């Protein structure tokens, strides 16, 4: 039996000094008033890689006040699309100039492979360019059919101060799914990156300053959900919270935001099904399933972690997926050959393992993995590729987000059962179908409750196409034109022209 493919330590020297991350408030880089910091150790190497200011109420209030003042009295919300676009385009160029530096800190803080960090930063630069294009095409409506004396206009205006709260799994990509769209709309912003991966957002702030973004348009407060994220969710001077993270925290943000009725947009978790019909190309499906479950060590909202396969081909498919899983290079994220790196934290490793153990105890089979793996020369935490078969719909591993390199395999007998299983989770982020029959794929795409459906592919993404979730996977959409609309308000202007006399009260 072939063993796993493990990439040992490459011996790459880590930076001599940890990156120092500070808040950006009204154009100035500052430490916390009380001097508090949080340290981040690399999940793969165990070494200290960044020391970040840990924000409290003072920093959060100051950042919100700056964003408010600049929105209400500054030039940015009234700047032309051309001016905003120029800064976003310049930022994209600077991101590409600094790609090595940003990718390295991303890998060191998150544990993801360096090649994938590169791809993430490069994809993010594309989003800055796409948002720059939108900044110049933004427009409202005119209504010229309201009668001879009336003209109606619908103006699109920036919503105001946007609080942007991000997770750790794609730190640079996710802030780039939000911030350039908010800036294109003319909003000002307070960004809070995850406490586990603060540094790439700080580098982005430096680049935006270099690109000429006026002071106070972007503010960054580092620190934890409590108090920084919670204050962004409750503060009356914040007009909108754009959040990506867990469904549990998303619900807390909605509750916290209800006091001010601020707009909340949410990109939350997923338990994404892939349904494999018996006529599918099993080799292609197996390769995409392997990618879908191990990409970013499964720490991915779009993880294709739930396979629903026709019982006639289940055995053959699992055999192929297990064989491919053994070939996927797990190990040192700084080695360019590595495709799966380290798990974000020891606590998260225990959570992943807990799901697998609980499924095994409930009668599921573990066809591969189900345990931590050691990587020669590295002291961090790594979880092996894991395939769990015989999963039944009521098991936690079938309905909850494991967020690790763990595949759950369920089976079905007919299309109705497959759809019912696919729709049985409380999430509705993304879904996939594998069949050579276009009608089977289209029928699935129309019946499944998910914000994105892939047919005979998995996890493609484009700046032009909206992304977001149904059910408990979120509300609102990012990317595409929808991503800009999230940060805009519609204002109706009704103009009496021509005959301006009114006659409600007789003269």
Q: How far is the CB of 248 from ligand NAD (least distance, A)?
A: 7
CA–CA dist 481, 487 (Å, integer): 11
In the complex with ligand NAD, which residue's Cβ is closer, 252 or 262?
252
Q: How far is the CB of 197 from ligand NAD (least distance, A)?
A: 8
Strand partners, 20: 51
Q: Are strands 452-455 and 430-434 parallel, antiparallel or unpaired?
A: parallel
The first and second tokens of residue 230, run together, are 């919670």
E strand or H helix at 507: none
Number of helices and strands (H, E) in the chain? 15, 25
Q: Measured at the alpha carbon of residue 294, what is the angle toward residues 292 and 296, in degrees to the nearest 5? A: 100
In the complex with ligand NAD, which residue's Cβ is closer, 265 or 435?
265
In the complex with ligand NAD, which residue's Cβ is closer, 235 or 320?
235
Catalytic residue numbers read: 267, 301
Q: How far is the CB of 30 from ligand NAD (least distance, A)?
A: 19
Q: How far is the CB of 305 from ligand NAD (least distance, A)?
A: 11
E strand or H helix at 321: helix 314-327
E strand or H helix at 251: helix 247-257
Cis bond leading into 227, ω under 30°? yes
CA–CA dist 342, 43 (Å, integer): 6
Burial of 18 per CB tally in 10 Å (0-12, 13-18, 19+):
buried
CA–CA dist 333, 335 (Å, integer): 5
Site residues (vs ligand NAD, CB under 6 A): 165-170, 174, 192, 194-195, 224-226, 229-230, 233, 244-246, 249, 252-253, 267-270, 301, 401, 403, 429, 469, 474
For 168-182, the three-class secondary structure string (H helix, E strand, C coil) is CCCHHHHHHHHHHHH
Q: How far is the CB of 489 from ligand NAD (least distance, A)?
A: 23
Q: How far is the CB of 171 from ligand NAD (least distance, A)?
A: 9
In the complex with ligand NAD, which residue's Cβ is closer, 201 or 410?
201
């Amino acid at each position: 039996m072939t063993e796993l493919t493990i990439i040992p330590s490459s011996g790459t020297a880590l930076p001599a000094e940890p990156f120092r991350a500070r808040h950006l408030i009204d154009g100035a880089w500052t430490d916390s008033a009380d001097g508090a910091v949080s340290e981040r150790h690399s999940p793969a190497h165990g070494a200290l890689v960044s020391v970040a200011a840990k924000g409290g109420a003072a920093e959060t209030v100051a950042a919100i006040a700056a964003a408010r003042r600049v929105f209400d009295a500054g030039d940015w919300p009234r700047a032309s699309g051309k001016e905003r676009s120029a800064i976003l385009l310049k930022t994209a160029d600077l991101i590409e100039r600094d790609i090595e530096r940003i990718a390295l800190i991303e890998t060191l803080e998150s544990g993801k492979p360096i090649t994938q960090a590169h791809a993430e930063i490069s994809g993010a630069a594309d989003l800055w360019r796409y948002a720059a294009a939108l900044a110049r095409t933004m427009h409202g409506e005119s209504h010229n059919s309201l009668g001879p004396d009336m003209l109606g206009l619908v103006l699109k205006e920036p919503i105001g101060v946007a609080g942007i709260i991000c997770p750790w799994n794609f730190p640079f990509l996710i802030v780039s799914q939000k911030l350039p769209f908010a800036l294109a709309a003319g909003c000002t912003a307070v960004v809070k990156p995850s406490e586990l991966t603060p540094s790439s957002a700080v580098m982005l702030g430096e680049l935006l300053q270099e690109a000429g973004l006026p002071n106070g348009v972007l503010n960054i407060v580092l620190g934890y959900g409590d108090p920084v994220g919670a204050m962004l969710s409750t503060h009356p001077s914040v007009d909108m919270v754009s959040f990506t993270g867990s469904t549990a925290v998303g619900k807390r943000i909605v509750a916290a935001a209800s006091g001010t009725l601020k707009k909340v947009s949410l990109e939350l978790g997923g338990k994404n099904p892939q349904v494999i019909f018996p006529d599918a190309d099993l080799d292609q499906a197996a390769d995409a399933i392997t990618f879908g479950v191990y990409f970013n060590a499964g720490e991915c909202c779009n993880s294709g972690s739930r396979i629903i396969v026709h019982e006639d081909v289940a055995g053959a498919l699992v055999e192929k997926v297990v064989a491919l899983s053994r070939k996927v290079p797990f190990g040192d994220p700084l080695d360019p050959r590595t495709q799966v790196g380290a798990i974000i934290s020891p606590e998260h490793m225990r959570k992943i393992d807990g799901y697998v153990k609980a499924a095994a105890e409930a009668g599921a089979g573990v066809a591969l993995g189900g345990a931590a793996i050691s990587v020669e020369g590295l002291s961090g935490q790594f979880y092996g590729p894991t395939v769990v078969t015989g999963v039944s719909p009521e098991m936690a591993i079938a309905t909850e987000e494991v967020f690790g390199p763990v595949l759950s395999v369920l089976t079905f007998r007919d299309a109705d059962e497959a759809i019912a299983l696919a729709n049985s989770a409380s999430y509705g982020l993304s879904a996939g179908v594998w069949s050579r029959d276009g009608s089977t794929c289209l029928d699935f795409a129309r019946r499944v409750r998910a914000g994105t459906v892939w047919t005979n592919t998995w996890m493609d993404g484009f700046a032009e196409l909206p992304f977001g979730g149904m059910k408990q996977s979120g509300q609102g959409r990012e990317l595409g034109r929808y991503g800009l609309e999230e940060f805009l308000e519609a204002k109706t202007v009704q103009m009496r022209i021509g005959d301006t006399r009114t006659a409600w009260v007789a003269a």
